[in-house]
Amino acid sequence: MTDLGLLIKDANNFEPYQVFESGQCFRWENDGDGYAGIIKDKVIKVKKLDRDILIENVSKEEINDVIYYFDLDRDYNEIKGKLQFDAYLREAMEYGSGLRILNQEPFECLISYIVSSNNRIPQIKRVVDNLSKMYGKPIKYRGKTYYTFPSPDVLANVQICEVQESRCGFRAEYICDAAKRVAWGDLDLSALKGQDYFTAKAELMKVKGIGEKVADCILLYSLQKYEAFPVDVWVNRVMTEIYIHQKISLKKVGEFARERFGNLAGFAQLYLFYYYRNKRGGVTNDGGIN
DNA sequence: TTCCAGGCGAAGA
DNA sequence: TCTTCGCATGGA
């Protein structure tokens, strides 16, 4: 902790560009001298300073929230060591060496991934941003206004047709349904954290708009279920090309991955997704275009 | 124009 | 259980 904020020295396993542009989160924004985002209703800024990372606007009381959000207590060298047995994954971990899995706020994560279905990342970001501007609380920071993600209570009291103004399309009814379930206590997100992976996943999949893939994303990016292995079009491509060599169902791809990577499957998924998508998708590793 | 996106639900086989 | 199809929206 310094006067400026939380300083992480020699942050080998934390590269802000990789973390925030990996497709796991949708609200962190690069404003030129770092990434700005919101943790627990407070604007936080993350800057890369040579080999160190500076996290600004954090008080002593909030330090544990920030450590939890960025998962700073986890030993990523140990995780990488355990996954070294896999040659392709070694390449992927080298390429995305600064990736980490965030602990996002579960409700925001749930709605964001409902929005993600059959959608593109820039459009997902736009919709999540629209929802925040429409129903979140404004926060001023250094002359700029940011918006918190709306609470379940607020979203539960909004009409479907109104939510559609966020440009979320057919997903509006899923968003409203999910918000009501959480607000009314039918779905207790904090309780899911104490349940095993399969039980928590089945609970999430009761919600309209949440299938295998979206449930895995919510479990992995907000509830610390690292057996989760979200299989989207990109992960399916890389798994088929590198490991499986034949067309099988997406569910079986996930089962294959859990068998191979065990309770580190979620970490493997993020490295594989980032490496394969950026290599094939024509995006470089530092924000540029090939 | 047509295709497709970090999929899902419903219907039919 | 598995396959097929429609779905709002917007960019290529």
pLDDT at A287 over 80: no
Pairing of strands A29-30, A35-39: antiparallel
Near strand B (CB < 7 A), which residues?
A 22-24, 116-121, 123, 170, 205, 207-215, 217, 230-235, 269-270, 273
Question: Residue A288 pLDDT > 60, yes or no?
Answer: no
| C1' (C8) to CA (A116) span, angstroms | 13
pLDDT value of residue A281: 65
- Given a contact cutoff of 8 angstroms between Cβ atoms, the answer to whether A267 and A83 are in contact is yes
Q: Note whether A38 and A148 are within 8 A (CB).
A: yes
Residues 6+ apart with CB under 8 A from A286: A17
pLDDT at position A283 is 58
CATH number of A106-222: 1.10.340.30
Asked if residues A111 and A179 have their Cβ atoms less than 8 Å apart, the reply is: yes
Nearest to A214 by CA among A71, A109, A105, A70: A109
DSSP state of A29: E
Does position A17 have pLDDT exceeding 90, yes or no? yes
pLDDT for A285 beyond 90: no
The average pLDDT across A134-163 equals 97
Pairing of strands A35-39, A42-49: antiparallel
> Is the pLDDT assigned to residue A286 strictly greater than 60?
no
Distance A65 CA to B8 C1' (A): 34
Share of residues in chain A with pLDDT > 90 (%): 93
What nucleotide is nearest A164 when CA is compared to C1'?
A: C8
So what's the pLDDT on residue A2? 80
For chain A, give the mean pLDDT.
Answer: 95
With cut-offs at 50, 70 and 90, classify the pLDDT of residue A1.
confident
What is the Cα A12 distance to its own chain's centre?
20
Which class is A5-74 in CATH? Answer: alpha beta
> Confidence class of residue A284 from pLDDT cuts 50, 70 and 90?
low
Q: What is the pLDDT of residue A20?
A: 97
The pLDDT, as a whole number, for residue A119 is 97
The confidence score (pLDDT) of residue A4 equals 78
Question: What are the tens digits of pLDDT across the range A167-225?
Answer: 999 999 999 999 999 999 999 999 999 999 999 999 999 999 999 999 999 999 999 99
pLDDT at A38: 98
| Nucleotides in chain B near protein beta carbons (<7 Å) | 5-10
| Structural domain spans, chain A | 5-74, 106-222
User: Residue A279 has what pLDDT?
Assistant: 85
pLDDT at A33: 87
Percent of all residues in chain A with a pLDDT value above 70, rounded to a whole number: 97
Q: Quick: pLDDT tens for A48-90.
A: 999 999 999 999 999 999 999 999 999 999 999 999 999 999 9
pLDDT of residue A289: 35
